[in-house]
Amino acid sequence: MRVSRVSRTMRAMPIVDELPPPDTSTLSFDMSRADWLELFADLADGHASAFEQLYDAAAQRLYSLALWLTGSQEDAADVVAETMVRVAEQRHRLRAVWDPRAWLLTVSRRLSLDVLRRRSRRPLEPIEAAELVAAPDDDPARTVDARRVSALLATLPSHHREVVYLRHYADCTFADIGRVVGVPTFTAASRYRLAIRRLRRLLEDAP
């Protein structure tokens, strides 16, 4: 299976989401930077409706990133909640945020890494048990394939798993990924290519 085929496989499988469904009739995570800046300005002004819009726009993507990193639905939901708390606590600084979407992903990622650092203190379900992707809605027969891909993704190092998520499901450019994870753009692109190549080998070797 070539790298391009692995990429198509990833795009065909939606991320798993266990949060309350957002109101998708309002804003979305993929809205323009101008819309994000306007939303952050409303948040900075303390508009209650802006926090509801933020949840609707970002919660699913932040949850999925946290799930891909921690492997725990409970911890992923906690990360989303704590991210929203951080937004409220830092609302007076939000006007200075240049890229709100990358800022939210960065906060969620850091909180997820905090979870991983605390992992030895209590037992958690292994990342291998997490369903990271699901079968497409129009092809439920691919449930087995989705479970297989989830299991293979779980074998990747977390720094490879996160770039695959950010690239395919958060629609980040390599420059965006670099800002989120704190590495140069070239390093982000290199990690992604290595991750996809490793997935390709795993898919080829899997029974």
pLDDT average, residue stretch 74-86: 92
Q: Is 190 helix (H, G, I), strand (E, B) or coil?
A: helix
Domain ranges of the chain: 1-15+132-207, 17-130
Q: Which residue has the higher pLDDT, 124 or 105?
A: 105
Q: What is the mean pLDDT of residues 107-116?
A: 92
CATH of 1-15+132-207, one of 3.40.640.10, 2.40.10.10, 1.10.10.10, 3.30.2350.10: 1.10.10.10
CB 146 within 8 A of CB 13: yes
CB atoms within 10 A of CB 92: 11
When comparing pLDDT for 122 and 205, which is higher? 205
Q: Closest Cα to residue 9, out of 18, 20, 1?
A: 1
Tokens of 138: 């129009």
CATH 3.30.530.20 fits 17-130, yes or no: no
- CA dist 168 and 25 (Å) reads 23
> pLDDT digits over 122-153, tens only?
544 444 445 555 545 555 554 446 567 777 78
CA-based nearest residue to 72, from 132, 144, 134? 132
Domains 1-15+132-207 and 17-130 share a fold: no
Is the pTM above the cut of 0.85?
A: no
Mean pLDDT, residues 99-123 taken together: 85
Please give the C-alpha separations between residue 157 and each of 5, 78, 82, 87, 92, in angstroms, as whole numbers: 21, 22, 24, 29, 36
What's the pLDDT at 133? Answer: 52
State the amino acid at position 121 in one-letter form. R
* pLDDT tens-digit series, residues 13-51: 444 455 555 444 456 888 999 999 999 999 999 998 999
